[in-house]
Amino acid sequence: MSSRPMNPGGASRVRRRVLLGTAVLVVLVDLAGLAAYLTRDGRSPSKAPAVRPSSPAAPSTTPSAPRTQPRALPVPPKTHDPIAFGKAAAAALWSYDTRAYSRTELRTALRAWLTSEDRYADPASVDKVVPSPVLWKEMTANRQFATAKVHEGHFPDSFTRALQSDPGAITQAYIYAVTVSGKQSIAWKGSHAGGAESRTSTLAVQCRPHRPCALVGVMPSVAP
């Protein structure tokens, strides 16, 4: 058996060959965006929803009084349910607390949610959710933080139809598409009500039978 390439370019070529040849693409091909996502070369960052900076023009929806106690870094749950994991991952990706930890610590914590299978993991799509160093510095000065409330999670319709047409095809990589909707509430120093906005993301989640679910990445677009 040949050894696995160690350089980024070689890894990308191996990833492309493996994913194009696996049966999982048979299941995911009807899901717009997901097949392209899984066959990417790994060098083009995914477009994830950006974190909003603190601003006087906060969203008009008024949430309940925000928590003032600093929040711990997010830890992935140990579950074999892709929807449950997707909901937890979305909540983690939509939350941050500049009062409690650094940008680097948040980035490291979110990367810990990724699958250990490098040929599937997309850390760039997770990194894109984390505010830039300049923005984080501004947010820290304002003691800004965000909490998330998840309303619902489901398999996109096109994913479900494809899975029903060939249930066995997913058993190569066990990657599921999960669309999650909820609300992100933002608060900062001096704000009493803060602001809130609706959020929706489609995540790729890997749930192999012999180990807990893990995040593959954030999809570049939302699949209904």
Is the pLDDT score of 151 beyond 50?
Answer: yes
Is the pLDDT score of 138 beyond 80?
Answer: yes
Host H or E run for residue 178 = strand 175-187
Contact 61, 209 (CB under 8 A): no
Give the lowest-confidence range in 5-14, 45-54, 158-167, 169-178. Answer: 45-54
Number of domain units in the chain: 1
Q: Is 223 part of a structural domain of the chain?
A: no
Q: Is 108 part of a structural domain of the chain?
A: yes
- Predicted pLDDT of residue 192: 62
pTM of the predicted structure, to 2 decimals: 0.73
- Predicted pLDDT of residue 92: 98
Is the pLDDT score of 159 beyond 50?
Answer: yes
- What secondary structure letter does DSSP report for 64? S
Q: Is 153 part of a structural domain of the chain?
A: yes
Q: Is 23 part of a structural domain of the chain?
A: yes
Mean pLDDT score across all residues of the chain: 78
Q: Is 1 part of a structural domain of the chain?
A: no
Q: pLDDT band at 204, cuts 50/70/90?
A: very high
Q: Is 3 part of a structural domain of the chain?
A: no
Is the pLDDT score of 38 beyond 70?
Answer: no
| Domain assignment of residue 105, given as a range | 8-218
Is the pLDDT score of 3 beyond 80?
Answer: no
Q: pLDDT band at 34, cuts 50/70/90?
A: low
- What secondary structure letter does DSSP report for 171? G
Nearest to 213 by CA among 74, 75, 78: 78
